[in-house]
Structures are given as C-alpha cells and as structure tokens.
Amino acid sequence: MPEPRKIIIDTDPGQDDAVAILLALGSAELEIIGITAVAGNVPLKLTEKNARKICELAGRPDIKVYAGAIRPLVRELVTAEEVHGKTGLNGPDLPEPKMKLQEQYAVDYLVETLMREEAGTITLCPLGPLTNIALAMIREPRIASRIKEIVLMGGGFFEGGNVTPSAEFNIYVDPHAADVVFRSGVPIVMMPLDVTHKALTTTKRTEAFRKLGTKVGLATAQMLEFFERYDEGKYGTDGGPLHDPCVIAYLLKPELFQGRHCNVTVETSSELTMGMTVIDWWGVTKRPKNATVMRDIDHDGFFALLVERLGRL
C-alpha cells in the first residue's frame, strides 16, 4: 500500500460533513493530519464540538481538531439550523466529546503546517464556507504554491443555488473567501450541486447503513434521516443530496466522477446573485481555467463505497 495521502478537512458539521469525516477515517488510503472547524451550518462553537463528536464516534479521539473563523471575511454569518437542526448534528444522540479541542487557532495551524510539511504533499478538503482557507492564504500567500490540491464541496451552476436561486450555501456564506480561493492558482477540484444533487440518500441506501449493525452505521442512518427531510420537502425527492462525502469519495475513487476543467468566477458585488459560481462550462470567455468542475457521479458506486468504508469503523 502506498503512503497514505495527507489531508486536512476544513468543515462545518453538519450531518453530511460528518459522513465525509467518517468516510475518510474508514479509509487507509487517507491520513487526516488535522480537522479545522469553521462557522457555517451552525456557529463555530458547535461545528468544532461536532467535529470532535464524530471523531469519538469513529473511535479516533487522537485526531487533532482546531477551531477557526467565527464569521465570514466581510458578510454577517448565515447558518442553516433549518437543515441540520439546532445542534448541527441532529439525529443521533452523541455524547459530549471528551477529547480536547486544540489550543492553536485553525488558521495558524494551516499556515504552520503548510509551511513546514514538504511542498505538494498536503491536500485541503474544504466542506463548508472557505473562510479559514482564505484567511490562511491572506496571512501567508506562500502557502498557495505548497498546497497539493484543494478538493471542495461548493457552488453550483446548471442546478442553480440552494440558499438563493443562484448561490450554494458554502459559497454564499463567504463569497469573498471563495473568491480568494478560486483566484489562488491552487489546483482545485469542485463538487458543486450539479453533481451532489445526483447523490441522493434514498430510504434503501439509508437502511444499508443501519444494517451495518454498528454504532457508526446506526448514527449515520439517524443523521441522514434527519438531514434529508429538509431537501425531500423542498425537492419532492426520496432522500436528500449527500454533498460533502463526494469530496472524500473523489480522493478514494476519482473514476466515480466526471467533469471538466474550466473557469469558475465568484459573484461578490451584486446582492441579487451574491455568491454565485459562474462556471464557464462551454469556454465562451478567455478567463483562465482554475477548477475541475464535476457534473456527473456513479451514485450507486458512491454509496457502495460509503457503506463498505463506514462498515470498517
């Protein structure tokens, strides 16, 4: 087995973030060297606690969790309790975490780690608003050339938005941070709503987690049953889109996804389309191609991978 790929997950748990973290913890191909929490689905004091709860659920209290930005760069924080519940992790009744939160501020941790580790060996996996990543890039611009790749969940184009008609939540919450990241020159793989909306947690798929007969399997089924109800009501579908695990699944089995390299530019001026990711899918502008945008997924293969890997925890 080759050396595991070193990743830092930047996250705002969030049930779908939680499943992404579990997928990474169940996969020996990956080494989570740190988890950085950011304000997003719920405020930071909850997202950092939820990240620790999930590590303990997976039996991994050794994972280092850092707290980062308490709010976006410019705009006021917008949260999504209507989707994720008051705790951000409604569904299972997970105990208060015993593992400690790291003292170091997440942005300092990102800068220090990326400047210390060999260039090109760390992959960043942002699953929430990009505030921490942008702050690190602004604080130490040299990190951009040292990041191996950024694989992120965020944005949308053909699918429109999920928090406004044109903007997806992660980008909408902090469009200025997203603008910094998409202009950074770091190789980016983007999982927008166009692909995550094809990864629905149907009843059958949720049952497969419960049938694992493990603590992790049960908690995952309970998280998904809570999390999907909002989108089922909104879209009239059986199940809701399982956004964030697409990031980790890509690292494990990129062949599950199809997309193309194109330009992505973030709207940061108009209130009407604030946070929109304008994806030049047809290459009609001369804007530099700055992201590989995924639009298709083998969703059966995706859920098979999820069940198999979570079954290892």
Cα-flanking dihedrals φ and ψ of residue 197, to 5°?
Answer: -70, -5
153 binds ligand RIB, rule: CB under 6 A: yes
Q: Which of 84, 176, 243, 261 is catalytic?
A: 243
As measured in angstroms, the least distance from the Cβ of 128 to ligand RIB is: 5
40 binds ligand RIB, rule: CB under 6 A: yes
Site residues for ligand RIB, 239-278, by CB under 6 A, read: 243-244
Scanning 25-33, 89-97, 161-169, 257-265 for contacts with ligand RIB by CB under 6 A, the matching segment is 161-169
CB 32 within 8 A of CB 24: yes
Give the separation between CA 94 and CA 212, rounded to whole angstroms: 18
Binds ligand RIB (CB under 6 A): choice among 128, 240, 245, 259: 128
Q: Residue 171 or 186: which CB sits closer to ligand RIB?
A: 171
Give the separation between CA 290 and CA 292, rounded to whole angstroms: 7
Give the separation between CA 42 and CA 84, rounded to whole angstroms: 8
As measured in angstroms, the least distance from the Cβ of 115 to ligand RIB is: 27
Q: 96-106: b or e for each residue (b if 16 or more CB lie within 10 Å)?
A: ebebebbebbb
Q: Residue 12 or 228: which CB sits closer to ligand RIB?
A: 12
Give the separation between CA 105 and CA 64, rounded to whole angstroms: 12
As measured in angstroms, the least distance from the Cβ of 245 to ligand RIB is: 10
Is 299 catalytic? The answer is no
As measured in angstroms, the least distance from the Cβ of 141 to ligand RIB is: 26
Listed in sequence order, the DSSP H helices in the chain are: 15-25, 44-57, 81-84, 106-116, 131-139, 169-173, 175-182, 193-196, 203-210, 215-235, 245-252, 299-310
Cα torsion 54, 186, 132, 177 to 10°: value is -120
As measured in angstroms, the least distance from the Cβ of 173 to ligand RIB is: 8
179 binds ligand RIB, rule: CB under 6 A: no
194 binds ligand RIB, rule: CB under 6 A: no
Q: Which uninterrupted H or E stretch holds 189?
A: strand 188-191
Which residues contact ligand RIB by CB under 6 A? 12, 14, 16-17, 40-41, 127-128, 153, 162, 168-170, 243-244
Which residues are the active-site residues?
Answer: 243
